[in-house]
A and B are shown apart, each in its own frame.
Chain A
Amino acid sequence: MSPPPLPKVSAPTAPAPEVAATSAVPGAGREILIDIDRVDFCYGTNQTLHGVSLQLEANKVTAFIGPSGCGKSTLLRCLNRMNDLIDGARVTAGAIRIHGVDIHRPDVDVIELRKRVGMVFQKSNPFPKSIYENITYGLRLQGKQDKTRLDEIVERSLRGAALWDEVKDRLHASGLGLSGGQQQRLCIARAIAVEPEIILMDEPCSALDPIATTKVEELIHELRTKYTIVIVTHNMQQAARCSDRTAFFYLGRLVEYADTRTIFMNPANPQTEAYVSGRFG
């Protein structure tokens, strides 16, 4: 992909690493949950991430923004090792630490990791089962069978995803009968049913209409009290509305990482400024 011409902006190359590094330093006293440390990532021989370093705080919403192909989804999918599914895809340098543990170490149980790091996908993917079965899918895998306990979790998860009032009368109807926005919230409910610490969202609203998008954004806002959320989005307004911190990526490099307000109001890097003001991307 060739970068578009950028008027009034320096050449679209990566910033000096020290610029990115200094902007990635969080304020004091904040708890660092995910530490991404100089990560390189390759699909076969094609390197898509170059020395990305940033630290994500607990109970915050962090947005990854940037034009298509900038590596933001790739980085997101590294956080629960979904990239393991792709042939030839691997982290070639650096480390990603969650609670200080390098999640790419060979002794890390990827199943356990994915229970702790849930994911919501770009295209809502409810299973062709009932709403109830969708929510309990992850729990049943863990061997939880107790009916009253499951009922409880289903209700709590659906309430947590702001879907309970809409579906409480048809829990045993197929999840595919829901509207697009409801399906996406069902997927969020399914993810929080297994009580993860971190929820990764890969453009969760890109296939939704504005009203459904608003509901999901409100939900993200509420979820931050209990979960650490990382959201990839193409929609800059969305990042501005619902995130606490924003990381801007370009061509596989982290350009700028700061409080969302700073990124949108007073970015340090001219490329960030050009992107958030809509001059390219």
Chain B
Amino acid sequence: MDPAHRFRTTASSAARREAAAFWLFRAATYLVVGCGAAVFLTIFLRGAGTVLQKEPPFINTAFFTEAPETLYVFDFEGAHRQMGFREYQVFKAAHPNATLSPETYIYSAGGIFPAIVGTVLLVVGSMTIALFLGVSAAIYLNEYARDGKFIRFVRLSIMNLAGVPSIVFGLFGASMFVVGFKVFGVQFFGWNTSLLAGWFTLAFMVLPVIITASEESLKAVPKGFREGSLALGATQWQTIRKNVLPYALPGILTSSILGIARVAGETAPIMFTAAYVVRDKLPWQVEKLSEFVFQGVMALPYHIYVVSSKIPQNEYTARVQYGTAFVFLLLVAVIAAASIILRNRLRNRYKW
């Protein structure tokens, strides 16, 4: 047995409390990881059943390339059959004498291709608008504006905008862009349910995130770059364009990745402004190119909402729900990965 020494541990109450605090924090952290794992594993395991298949090519291509269809489920000659609407029509024609009494499940067959396309279009368009407006505003606030009451009010407004619930943005977009308004008989906006209305609504929603993060990135560019450039006789805009913005860009892109996930995932702002429950035509099947931005689209989050909420739960629809959720997460991951790669490239090019 060791002789008693000066630093021997004692079961003091401080030590017990220390241990309790440590385990509390550790447990909280693990719980968070557990929650995340539970969500992702559920979607992954259940979604994989829809997205993957046992036979080559191992991926359910129809789910990615076709539009949603109504699923027909019926018994025929002792066998349990399920097929999409078009296949059912063919089947019925081939067996004119059979009495089929199918159960139908709306949107439970086919795929989600139009929704994937719609979500990509919504993300790209709204992020373009949000980045342009957001970065411009951040440049003004950080580089040009002198601190004063008005600028403080502007910043407060931006913070408030960040706290507005997304459904409110949806209502705002619906009344502002979809319906529009008339001033002295001149119609403003009134774009109906359209990509354009959705783009602006989503862009306004992520603006606060983009502005705040862009400002932080601009602040991170050393003051010496600006002073050095100005001292050589550069105008402020030349300085910003050549010697500030390039170095802030990686940071701005990092923040916009968060914006992408939000834009892609929000249901409320698009349900009144841009999203259709179902649309057979694909976005590029418009008569005139000028109508492209004035058409509504299907979107993944709204599709999940539609199939999950409007139909009594059953095994056939659940497949689509989890499959869509799976594809949705995948898509966000792909878009985010693309921006991360772009950011890393920029970062390597502009290092200091």
Q: Residues of A at under 8 Å CB distance from B?
A: 80, 82, 85, 87, 111-112, 114-115, 118-119, 121, 123, 125-128, 137-138, 141-142, 174, 176, 187, 190-191, 194
Contacts and interface: CB of A to CB of B under 8 A. Distances in A.
Given A125-B225, A141-B238, A118 B231 contact: yes
B239 to A, nearest CB: 9
Contacts of A126: 228
Contact of A114 (B225, B230, B247, B352): B230
Contacts of A176: 351-352
A123 B224 contact: yes
Contact of B231 (A114, A123, A142, A174): A114
B233 A82 contact: no
A112 B229 CA distance: 13
B346 to A, nearest CB: 12
B34 interface: no
B233 A115 contact: yes
A111 B232 CA distance: 8
B235 interface: yes
A187 to B, nearest CB: 7
Nearest to A119: B231
A190 B228 CA distance: 9
22 contacts: A82-B231, A87-B147, A111-B233, A111-B235, A114-B231, A114-B233, A118-B232, A121-B227, A121-B231, A123-B224, A125-B225, A127-B228, A127-B243, A137-B232, A138-B234, A141-B232, A141-B234, A142-B233, A174-B351, A176-B351, A187-B228, A190-B232
B80 interface: no
A125 B233 contact: no
B233 A112 contact: yes
Chain B binding surface, main DSSP class: helix
B8 interface: no
Contacts of A112: 233
Contacts of A87: 146-147
Nearest to B226: A85
Nearest to B230: A114
A87 B238 CA distance: 21
Given A121-B224, A125-B224, A85 B230 contact: yes
B232 A125 contact: no
A115 B233 CA distance: 5
Nearest to A109: B233
A142 B242 CA distance: 13
B305 interface: no
Contacts of B234: 111, 137-138, 141
